[in-house]
Structure 1
């Protein structure tokens, strides 16, 4: 029993003699046709209709440039061809040596071929499929193909072109590819309009040299990759460009995959890859269990020997650049991933990831944009991370920000010795909720501006800050809460002062630092239990005296736990101290120079060395109203 599906296709090629679809009665006439139902805006680049092709039990060609052989229509001349009707088992082939374009205008076409590509473009300068407004078109292939070229296994898509292919218009095209790919071009694939729906046994859209989307409403449900560009011979090709339109994809493998670059300038993109973040994999790496084989806080390279299926949302070998648009991602593996660099200049990006939210092997530059990572193993990961502007919120089950180098093929001990990785924060807003390290750099951290808020780990095997080199801060606001076992503060070589308040507090407990005049330096309520709270703002001045309070209330609501612009009603005084050096540890007993505790800075929170600074004495109970072990007797609330 044959099932009918709707697929819209562009271009055709020469008669395909190897494939055999069922015989049909045919007729051909040569009366030139000059009328068309295509709107002027859709046909302005086309000439008059050269032939009208009517599909059915009898295929007719009214005009010139096309012939019929049984159930196959072969177009051999450049020009414009209006196609309508239903063909249950046949082909449209384009095989034109002319130096002009071939236009296929689909006027309510329902085309099925059971053993090859229903639309097959063997040769054309450019093949252009036009979808007139108000038309519904369907292209469907079978589950088994008889290849015309067995050396290349081609054609292998419901709509297949060996040359450039463009789809435009305002009508609808449904492609049901039961054998392999939905729409394939061996050169450039461009979509400028239309309501296009593709369901494919493997990849949805493939443009070997490139895919460019300038408009349209595209929906893809693919068992393989949804969009794919594969040219690896020419570094100027193999790219995917999104300039406008709507793209909604559900992929069994990668959502968007390019051998060179992915560039998104605008448009609305929704991607669910590999079943989404709820379907994240866990595999073993040197007997250390972590999602996707990553070793905690370690190497960022994706070059490993694992051959498992890739289920990333947007993946590029060289570069991903996002300049604008609205992007929503739910990915089983990384949401954004490159083997080289990522640049984010704008747009709104919402991600839920089963592994990394954003991963670049070498460099990540965030210059603007709204980035929300609601779920991840590690939120942002690269060897060099530069945050210059933008609004970033992320949640991670391990490290929030991980600046690390190395290679996944390295041994476990080699990974411990890695010291590359740099995090530069020059502006913007960064909020991190991490169960592992909040900010982690296998090298150094530099902060010159911006606002950073970290709700870090509750376990003592990680810290809100973790670095191997130095952390120099010269500007901006840093608030970082977490456990104290591996706690590190900014380096004493910093220009801007910082304090690390060691005190045990429950979630949502206010901690406020006030100057001698009662001015608010910082008031913050960590979202989790904590025993270390790092504060650095331009208002902290050496040789000044400060009071630290816990509890109390604030007259306004907070932003990510940080209160400002209102009035703090004091709770219990923890201590009074004088900031006698740039970096100081503060406890209920006063303040001492240095701000580190435990053994921080051992490559991603691995315990066993790398301690820096003098570990301060932390009383068992440092907040009035807590028991001897630091646990609260009663939860303090804030408005």
Structure 2
């Protein structure tokens, strides 16, 4: 499993080969051995494989230059079902305009039912300059690249260009599944606008790499909006995408070093029936402003997902961020999810109740084998950023571990007792940052450890939405406060300002509690409930239980007290004697000093 490390952005010098152009000379053209050309790179360090397979967003010098010399370019003037051509490298037949030579081509006018095809065997770049072009087709993709070294599409300054395809019969030997379809690497630049109306299937697709330097893109598609089959990289641009499946996607066939997405900037407004952003490998987001409404995941990576900056506003989704290893280093992230807000999972680890039966205290309960398996390769790491989650299911969920080293995290978890604000199958370690998590109390989970500050976990009864929660020290200073916009019955708060040995006043609506912190993770009124811990079951206290050994198929037994004592019932030392303890999902009442006021 690949381990994340903080990614870095760098500008690297390199050698690029620019080949002889037959259509016209390009202003950036240099000899193949000219080492003065630059390659702009945003590298991804150890996010993916090292060496030549390291994930990066790299542009050749020609990609970054949207200028051109009109007098040296071949001109294609579209008109009706045909075109007139001034220059070389183009054939026109029955509405099909075919470009056969490397070079630059200015395309303008309207093609009512035809296509622009590129079929170039030369080892050079074909540059299509869209200068107020409208291209429609009812029988094939309006823009098709069948063969080329690379395609560079420039959206001319101040122009609006439109590409439209319609529902059509699929042809086995020519199923170009998008309005703009390329079998070669595809790069967009320029400051113009491209409207894509994909009535057949996808909007823009490259079977190799797809990169965007700049431009404005308005895409409506029956299936996916943008696909970079091997790689999708976006430096900048403005994107409005409405898709019948995924908004943006990258996949691979057999090479697992491919299928990655890198976003370093841009403005995105994505409405997708499936995932907003989906890839079969790694996603790196280091900048940009993304607004996403999706029917499934907001941002999904089959492997690793890392956010180093930018703004991600997921207004609607089933699950917000999903990946095997999720690393949040910086950025402003807001998620509204009907299910889990942030979900670290590998697709194979079990979660939930499993075979654990009815839940219990931390080590108490009846029955239940191992309810959920913790996968050490699954990890949610929060190092920084401002993170807000409003989840109908679990707020932060990991089938392995959660580590919080920094950042400001606010979680509005579920109102039902079937989920919890913080859900983890391994351990939740807090080393820094600020955490406020509110939710139901029926399956409440407590962070495993905290340092550089203390964590308080308390149940509150049912507190109405829009009732302020506050934590005040003994001098009357407000340490933390927040007003959840939904009902809540528990609160989990952590800050470096919460000190061991100090007493704090918790106020939530009409509820007031006095809590003395005597451990780095201090609990108040956290009793057993319906479970899902590794060895938990039905019952209550941390170590309580009825006499007579272990409960069936697990290590827990029926009881209520913190440690199996000689008194029956739910006192701290209560419970029926005997019995081994189990590991339930929820913690029971801790040894903290609590005075209800």
| TMscore range, shorter length | 0.5 to 0.7
- Residue 392 of structure 1 corresponds to 409
Matched, 1:348 2:365: no
Change (3 A) 1:122 1:241: same
Matched, 1:609 2:586: no
* Distance apart, 1:479 and its partner CA: 2.9
C-alpha separation in 1, matches of 2:139 and 2:511? 79
* Distance apart, 1:44 and its partner CA: 4.6
- Residue 423 of structure 2 corresponds to 402
Report which structure shows greater RCO (CA 8 Å, sep ≥6).
2
Matched, 1:72 2:96: yes
* Distance apart, 1:49 and its partner CA: 3.4
* Distance apart, 1:256 and its partner CA: 0.5
- Residue 376 of structure 1 corresponds to 392
Which residues in structure 2 correspond to 1:353-368 (within 5 Å)? 353-361=337-345, 362-368=378-384
* Distance apart, 1:433 and its partner CA: 1.1
Change (3 A) 1:548 1:199: closer
Give the conservation status (yes or no) of the 8 Å contact 1:189–1:212.
yes
* Distance apart, 1:539 and its partner CA: 7.5
- Residue 627 of structure 1 corresponds to none
Structure 2: which 5+ runs fail to align? Answer: 1-21, 28-61, 346-377, 543-561, 564-569, 573-588
Give the conservation status (yes or no) of the 8 Å contact 1:168–1:194.
yes
Change (3 A) 1:71 1:371: same
In structure 1, which of residues 585, 599, 605 is the aligned counterpart of residue 528 of structure 2?
Answer: 599
Give the conservation status (yes or no) of the 8 Å contact 1:466–1:601.
no
- Residue 310 of structure 2 corresponds to 325
Q: What secondary structure is seen at the aligned counterpart in 2 of 1:313?
A: strand
C-alpha separation in 2, matches of 1:230 and 1:576? 52
- Residue 106 of structure 1 corresponds to 130
In structure 1, which of residues 49, 54, 57 is the aligned counterpart of residue 72 of structure 2?
Answer: 49
- Residue 437 of structure 2 corresponds to 432
What RMSD, in angstroms, separates the aligned Cα atoms of the two structures?
4.1
In structure 1, which of residues 157, 161, 176 is the aligned counterpart of residue 197 of structure 2?
Answer: 176
Matched, 1:86 2:92: no
Give the conservation status (yes or no) of the 8 Å contact 1:548–1:573.
no
* Distance apart, 1:396 and its partner CA: 1.1
Task: Report which of the two structures shows the higher radius of gyration computed on alpha carbons.
Answer: 1
* Distance apart, 1:596 and its partner CA: 7.0
* Distance apart, 1:45 and its partner CA: 7.6
C-alpha separation in 1, matches of 2:515 and 2:343? 43
Change (3 A) 1:510 1:380: closer
Change (3 A) 1:534 1:601: farther
Q: What secondary structure is seen at the aligned counterpart in 2 of 1:197?
A: strand
- Residue 273 of structure 1 corresponds to 294
C-alpha separation in 2, matches of 1:425 and 1:111? 56
Give the conservation status (yes or no) of the 8 Å contact 2:409–2:435.
yes
Give the conservation status (yes or no) of the 8 Å contact 1:597–1:616.
no
- Residue 256 of structure 2 corresponds to 235
Which residues in structure 2 correspond to 1:432-451 (within 5 Å)? 432-435=437-440
* Distance apart, 1:314 and its partner CA: 0.5
C-alpha separation in 2, matches of 1:511 and 1:267? 35
Matched, 1:143 2:167: yes
* Distance apart, 1:365 and its partner CA: 0.8
- Residue 121 of structure 1 corresponds to 145
TM superposition score normalised by structure 1: 0.63
Change (3 A) 1:241 1:538: closer
C-alpha separation in 1, matches of 2:64 and 2:193? 16
Tell me the number of residue pairs that the alignment of Structure 1 and Structure 2 aligns: 453
Give the conservation status (yes or no) of the 8 Å contact 1:373–1:395.
yes
> Per-residue CA shift, 1:397-423, capped at 9, x if unaligned?
13111112xxxxxxxxxxxxxxxx110
> Per-residue CA shift, 1:472-491, capped at 9, x if unaligned?
44441323321589xxxxxx
TM superposition score normalised by structure 2: 0.67
Change (3 A) 1:48 1:80: farther
Change (3 A) 1:574 1:74: closer
